[in-house]
Amino acid sequence: MNLSAIDPKLLQLLNAVLDEAHLARGAARIGLPLPAAASALERCRQLFRDPLLEDGGQAMRLTEAAKALRAPLQQALAAIGHGAREQEAGVAGMQRRVRLLMADYPAQVVAQALYAELHPSAPLLDLEFLPWKNDAAAADSLERGEAELVIGSPARAQAPVRSREVLQERCVAVMRHDHPAAQQLTLQKWLAYPHLRVSSHDTLNKMLDEQLAAQGLAPRVGMTVPNFLMAAPLLQGSDLIALMPMYCVPAATAAHPVPLSCLRPPLPVAGLSLHLQRHQRSDDDIAVMHVADVLERVVRQQLAGR
C-alpha cells in the first residue's frame, strides 16, 4: 500500500499507537482526544485489513502486519515532515487572502486557535470568514471560486472537490436544564413542545423532517433562527427544544452559567459527518494547502470529544 496516499494525521496516530502498543498513550502523545483516536485507529484497521493491535495477555502487542509497517511508516512520516517544512518556508513571506466558509459554530470555537497556529508560520496571510448560508450554498461558492475552504456536510458529490472527514458528530436534543421534557424524554413529549430550528443547518433539518414524515409525524416549529449563536439564550428562557450537533451546543458562560441539557433524541438520528472541502484548483496552492492542514488539526483538537 502507498502510505503517502493516506491522510498524514492517520499515519501520525498509527505511528504513536504502534510505538506505545497502546491506544490511549498513543493518542495522548499527539494530543488527540481518545474518541477521535479510537475512530482513527478503526479507519487504519480497515485500510490495512488487520487489527494491528491484539491481546497479549497482560498488555496489547503488535500483530505481524503492524510490525512490518514500522519501517515504511517511519519513512513516510519523514517524507511528510520534509514536505511540511518546505510548505511552511514557502508561505512564510506570502501575502494573500484565503477565504473560509463554515457555520458560526464551529467558526466561533476554532477561529482564535486557527489564527494563533497560523500567524507564526504565515504572518502575512489574510484569513476571511465568509457569511454562512447552508451546505448547498457553500458548495456553490467553492465551485465558483468564491471560497477556498469549506467546513460542512457535503451537499452533493462533486468530482473536482477534495473532501475529507474531520469530525463525526452526534446529534442531541437540547433544552433548558429544568424543561418539563428533560426527564424521560419520549417522542410524544418531544413533539408536544415547540421546536427551535436553525435554518443554516439545512442538512440536519431535512434529515429530521424526512424521518418524522415516514412515521406520519411532524414537529411544531416555534421559532426559526439563522445561526447557532442565537440558540442558547432562546433555549434557556423558554420551552423550546432544538436538535443540534453536540459541537454546536455552547458551553456554560458567565452570561448563561447553567448548562443546557443535552439528551439522546427519542428517535434514531444519524451522526453528522463534518468535512473539510476544497476545490482541486487549489492542489498546487501552498497557501490554501497550509491553511487546510492547520484548520483540520485545529478542528480535531477543539471539537473532537465534545
Contacts of 190 (CB under 8 A, 6+ apart): 173, 181, 219, 241, 265, 266
Distance of alpha carbon 179 from alpha carbon 111, whole angstroms: 32
Angstrom distances, CA of residue 40 to CA of 4, 71, 218 = 17, 20, 36
β-pairing, 261-263 vs 171-175, is: antiparallel
Cell of 27: 493518542
The overall pTM is greater than 0.85: no
Residue 68, classed as helix, strand or coil, is: helix
Residuewise pLDDT in 10s, the chain (306 residues): 667 667 777 888 888 888 888 888 888 877 778 888 888 888 889 888 899 988 877 788 899 998 998 888 888 877 766 455 545 556 777 888 999 999 888 898 899 999 999 988 888 899 999 999 988 899 999 999 999 999 988 866 666 888 888 887 788 999 999 999 998 899 999 999 999 999 988 888 888 898 899 999 999 999 999 988 899 899 999 999 999 988 888 765 445 455 789 999 998 887 778 889 999 888 878 889 889 989 988 888 887 655
Of 202, 228, 225, 206, the closest CA to residue 134 belongs to 202
Distance of alpha carbon 202 from alpha carbon 210, whole angstroms: 12
CA angle at 34 for the pair 118 and 110, rounded to the nearest 5°: 30
Q: Are 241 and 194 in contact (CB under 8 A)?
A: yes
